[in-house]
Structure 1
Amino acid sequence: MPEAFDQIFVASRAVVAGIERPAVVGVRAGTIAAVGTVDADADWSGERIRLADDEVLVPGIVDTHVHVNEPGRTDWEGFTSATSAALSGGTTTLLDMPLNSLPPTTTLQALRVKQDAAGGQCFMDVGFWGGAVPGNLDQLGPLHDAGVFGFKCFLIDSGVPEFPPLSSSELVQYMQRVAELGALMIVHAEDPDVIAAAPQARGRQYSDFVASRPDSSEVSAIHTVIEAVRSTGARAHILHLSSAAALDELRAAKAEGLPLTVETCPHYLTFAAETIRDGSTTHKCCPPIRGESNRDELWEGLSDGTIDMVVSDHSPCTVDLKQLDSGDLGTAWGGVASVEVALRAVWTGARERGIELARVVDWMSTRPAAVVGLTEQGGIDVGRRADLVAFAPEESLTVDARRLHHKNKLTAYDGITLRGAARRTWLGGREASTAHADGRFLVRSDTPAPTRIATSREHDPKETP
């Protein structure tokens, strides 16, 4: 008797267990129930979905670093626009950062406010980070119990007054609590003293902006984090690494066995300081995009495993805050809007370097899911959720910021030709659509009852995490 599935995906090319090969994937009740060779489905029954010859079946991208900004700064972005843009780019899971929204996610009550704002707006699955700021040490436990994926802190001014940085001594204190909880601390690692001593950025020259946030600021701050990990035993994750000068110490810390992971971002792998025109505030981000040789070393750090993963750090704002008319890199808001083009940007750079698509999938789906503890996402394996993308790696398209789904039509990638297209996306085996906001709220897999997930449409912030 034929084995019954809800959907059967047939692909001449698929990334399965880190290898690109032909595959058929049987899905039942939103979960991958079987993975076989192309002729294994002869006795399978169900809806057949055949990918085109130029498409590769890949797991949905897991983007753990997105600034959605809702509530409070919804004119910057919001759950409707952010999840629509992410879905268009092949992302099926995103984690929302705790700052730039008002209130920031630094208390249990603020988490409930954010979940309430997100309800009914998510076209894909969304989880939340908590924040670690001076004075909220007692909130880490309640936020952890509510299912946040960890806690973000800054070691330098965040740019918004409601999310102040931790001092070095506070970092140790908070990481001691993180260790007790078995949680994860994610760190914006720039040293405020180093930056205070550097030349201040003023005007349009991009080289002046880079000089205002030197490599040594990241190296020093990362050293501080490593020492805190060593003294507390807490897990830590370095956010948006831009400086290759920190790679040697990171390699040594990992070789020592310290529980430390590292991410970088598409803009650090795509652009180089030498080619960014003066006054291009769409390229401004902190830490900054550095030089071409630095970019090459970041690619090497990815290839040798020192850098674990690539995430967008989608950090949008309104057009006026980018100060396009003046081009003042000292006063314009910092952040690159990129969630819709992240996969394409990284694949374009990887392809140019002879790196296989399977490696990109590992960096942008499998490893992010593993780092944050998402056990259902990140791969085409039996037992995982059928979050899948038909990706056309050779399709070429020039980015037009006006056509992106981001709320504010600004991106550093405007006018850049990138390879790859997410032609179709499925969430739990069902083709995704912006016609229905039926994405789920995700919490850590070890979160205690009453429930592990709730759909945004059904979510009641008073009852479920």
Structure 2
Amino acid sequence: MNDYDLVVRSRRTVLPDGERPAAVAVRDGRIAAVTGHDDAPPAGTRVDLGEVALLPGLVDTHVHVNEPGRTEWEGFATATRAAAAGGVTTIVDMPLNSLPPVTTAAALAVKRDAAAGRCRTDVGFWGGAIPGNTPELRALHGLGVFGFKCFTADSGVPEFPPLSYEAMEEAFTEIASFDGLVIVHAEDPGSLSVPVGGTYDAFLASRPPSAEQKAIEQVIRLAEATGVRAHILHVSAADGVEPLSRARARGVRVSAETCPHYLTLSAADVRPGATQFKCCPPIRDAAVRDGLWRALAAGAIDCVVSDHSPCPPELKRGGFDEAWGGISALQLGLPAVWTEARRRGHELADVVRWMSAAPAALAGVTGKGAIEVGNDADLVAFAADETFTVDPAALRTRHRLTPYEGRELTGVVRATWLRGEVVDDMPRGRLLRR
């Protein structure tokens, strides 16, 4: 009799203690054993990857799916299809830009109904903290959201307004009372300006690194005062990292993330009118990018997630002062980061830590983030030495406008398993609760 449903073995299996030859045995959707490569047990299905690497499924805690309400921007079917094609097996969906935004228990129910039966990966949900909804936060927490997102500056959509620093203190105090997590888009509104003209240089100058640093310092102050656990989203420059490191050293519970586009692109890549590069905070110059890599290598930045924020192509028309600010690259995050990480001397195990283990730990997504016994059998076959040129026609998102078009990347996702089953067109994903 077969002892296991599936055994996958690879000479490059990335485990919590590093990369080595190993076999991973699956029973009832979970990892039941991890053995030596040549000690693989009997199974109903056996897959031998040879030198193709075996990774845990990535966990992307920063995805804007936009359904319901703006499903023409992206939806659960297309977002999770693209995620799986990029080796991501779990996403946590942001509370905006859907309609209604997830700022009440009723809105969360609408969001979950929209996602039900449409997901090819597992999906969790963030709640939102906006002016006036502090009384809703405890109920949302009880319903299983993974934490609460807020903005210090304009979010870009009117139904999700920012919190003043005074209102943030009220929300932080409430979230701390039930030991929740708050995640913050940190740009100081008083340090931002209106870009003059539609050029990228003008847009870049309108959102300086000092705006990020000032907002991060305010978040640290409020986290220290209230005791809340706080996380800084999409750090675009290392200026704010030093305050974070000092705060952590004195026991403040703060963490930070960055994104593939800040680690792999630079302002020099942005051609006139190429608004597919526009995001907030903006992509900065190569020296700033180098600083982010140093912070990531030192552990001052905890994780790397996509901030996938797509829109229809018509919303990217016009200059950088008018176009929607969001990067669409959910499917390409793993090869993009691996291409640059490898060039800088990092290992696959580093990328797995940044893009799987750390995001899972941040949000408290249990059973994910590592190839270890008891976890869900979420696995990725990744040809780490194979290169490809990004062709938008091969992307699985609803819209295929991406700043990576035509770039050569290293690393190809050959297969993705969700709880031991190959991800295909059948929507087997589950809706997760904290």
Q: TM-score, normalised by structure 1?
A: 0.92
Q: Where does residue 309 of structure 1 map in the other structure? A: 303
Query: Could you tell me how far apart the structure 2 residues matched to 1:76 and 1:49 are?
Result: 39
Query: Could you tell me how far apart the structure 1 residues matched to 2:237 and 2:424 are?
Result: 38
Question: Residue type matched to 2:21 in 1?
Answer: P
Q: Where does residue 259 of structure 1 map in the other structure? A: 253
CA contact (8 A) 2:391 2:406 kept: yes
CA contact (8 A) 1:202 1:329 kept: no
Query: Could you tell me how far apart the structure 1 residues matched to 2:375 and 2:77 are?
Result: 26
Closer, same or farther in 2 for the Cα pair 1:202/1:408, shift >3 Å? farther
Query: Could you tell me how far apart the structure 2 residues matched to 1:367 and 1:49 are?
Result: 29
Q: Where does residue 203 of structure 2 map in the other structure? A: 209
Deviation at 1:275, TM superposition (A): 2.8
Query: Could you tell me how far apart the structure 2 residues matched to 1:48 and 1:437 are?
Result: 21
Query: Could you tell me how far apart the structure 2 residues matched to 1:429 and 1:159 are?
Result: 39
CA contact (8 A) 1:202 1:331 kept: no
Q: 1:166 aligns with which of 163, 167, 189?
A: 163
CA contact (8 A) 2:9 2:49 kept: no
Q: Where does residue 371 of structure 1 map in the other structure? A: 362
Q: Where does residue 407 of structure 2 map in the other structure? A: 416
Q: Where does residue 174 of structure 2 map in the other structure? A: 177
Q: Where does residue 12 of structure 2 map in the other structure? A: 13
Residue 398 (1) aligns with residue 389 (2): yes
Return 5+ residue gaps in structure 2 as ranges.
Answer: none
Deviates further, 254-263 or 60-69: 254-263
Query: Could you tell me how far apart the structure 2 residues matched to 1:169 and 1:313 are?
Result: 27
CA contact (8 A) 1:33 1:383 kept: yes
Q: 1:276 aligns with which of 270, 273, 282?
A: 270
Correspondence list, 1:116-155, <5 A: 116-155=113-152
CA contact (8 A) 1:51 1:390 kept: no
Residue 57 (1) aligns with residue 48 (2): no
Deviates further, 218-227 or 112-121: 112-121
Q: Secondary structure, in 3 states, of the residue corresponding to 1:363?
A: helix
Question: Residue type matched to 1:194 in 2?
Answer: S
Query: Could you tell me how far apart the structure 2 residues matched to 1:270 and 1:26 are?
Result: 35
Q: Secondary structure, in 3 states, of the residue corresponding to 2:37?
A: coil
| 4+ residue segments displaced more than 6 Å | none
**How many residues are aligned here?**
434
Q: Where does residue 33 of structure 2 map in the other structure? A: 34
Question: Residue type matched to 2:11 in 1?
Answer: S
Question: Residue type matched to 2:32 in 1?
Answer: A
Question: Residue type matched to 2:375 in 1?
Answer: R
CA contact (8 A) 1:6 1:28 kept: yes
Q: Where does residue 315 of structure 2 map in the other structure? A: 321
CA contact (8 A) 2:198 2:322 kept: no
Q: Secondary structure, in 3 states, of the residue corresponding to 1:141?
A: helix
Query: Could you tell me how far apart the structure 2 residues matched to 1:175 and 1:331 are?
Result: 33
Q: Secondary structure, in 3 states, of the residue corresponding to 2:111?
A: helix
Question: Residue type matched to 2:353 in 1?
Answer: D
Q: Where does residue 455 of structure 1 map in the other structure? A: none
Deviation at 1:431, TM superposition (A): 1.2
Q: Where does residue 234 of structure 1 map in the other structure? A: 228
Query: Could you tell me how far apart the structure 1 residues matched to 2:55 and 2:209 are?
Result: 35
Q: In angstroms, what is the RMSD of aligned CA positions?
A: 1.1
CA contact (8 A) 2:8 2:49 kept: no
Residue 95 (1) aligns with residue 92 (2): yes
Correspondence list, 1:347-366, <5 A: 347-366=338-357
Query: Could you tell me how far apart the structure 2 residues matched to 1:310 and 1:217 are?
Result: 21
Query: Could you tell me how far apart the structure 1 residues matched to 2:161 and 2:199 are?
Result: 28
Deviates further, 70-79 or 254-263: 254-263
Question: Residue type matched to 2:5 in 1?
Answer: D
Deviations, residues 268-291 of structure 1 (Å, cap 9, x unaligned)? 001111232122100000000011
Q: Where does residue 432 of structure 1 map in the other structure? A: 423
Deviation at 1:49, TM superposition (A): 2.6
Q: Secondary structure, in 3 states, of the residue corresponding to 2:369?
A: coil
Question: Residue type matched to 1:357 in 2?
Answer: L
Deviation at 1:20, TM superposition (A): 0.5
CA contact (8 A) 1:27 1:429 kept: yes
Q: Secondary structure, in 3 states, of the residue corresponding to 1:358?
A: helix
Question: Residue type matched to 1:307 in 2?
Answer: I
Query: Could you tell me how far apart the structure 1 residues matched to 2:17 and 2:292 are?
Result: 21
Q: Secondary structure, in 3 states, of the residue corresponding to 1:220?
A: helix
Query: Could you tell me how far apart the structure 1 residues matched to 2:114 and 2:422 are?
Result: 25
Query: Could you tell me how far apart the structure 2 residues matched to 1:275 and 1:318 are?
Result: 22
Residue 300 (1) aligns with residue 297 (2): no
- Percent same amino acid among aligned pairs? 52
Query: Could you tell me how far apart the structure 2 residues matched to 1:141 and 1:210 are?
Result: 38
Deviates further, 423-432 or 261-270: 423-432
Query: Could you tell me how far apart the structure 1 residues matched to 2:327 and 2:196 are?
Result: 19
Question: Residue type matched to 1:243 in 2?
Answer: A
Deviation at 1:3, TM superposition (A): 7.7
Q: 1:115 aligns with which of 112, 135, 139?
A: 112
Query: Could you tell me how far apart the structure 2 residues matched to 1:242 and 1:48 are?
Result: 44
Residue 104 (1) aligns with residue 104 (2): no
Query: Could you tell me how far apart the structure 2 residues matched to 1:277 and 1:316 are?
Result: 19
CA contact (8 A) 1:350 1:356 kept: yes
Q: Where does residue 4 of structure 1 map in the other structure? A: 3
Residue 443 (1) aligns with residue 433 (2): yes
Q: Where does residue 342 of structure 1 map in the other structure? A: 333
Query: Could you tell me how far apart the structure 2 residues matched to 1:416 and 1:124 are?
Result: 27
CA contact (8 A) 2:105 2:139 kept: yes
Deviation at 1:53, TM superposition (A): 2.5
Deviation at 1:83, TM superposition (A): 0.5
Residue 86 (1) aligns with residue 106 (2): no
Deviation at 1:48, TM superposition (A): 4.1
Query: Could you tell me how far apart the structure 2 residues matched to 1:49 and 1:430 are?
Result: 12
Query: Could you tell me how far apart the structure 1 residues matched to 2:393 and 2:312 are?
Result: 14
Return 5+ residue gaps in structure 1 as ranges.
Answer: 445-465
Q: Where does residue 22 of structure 2 map in the other structure? A: 23
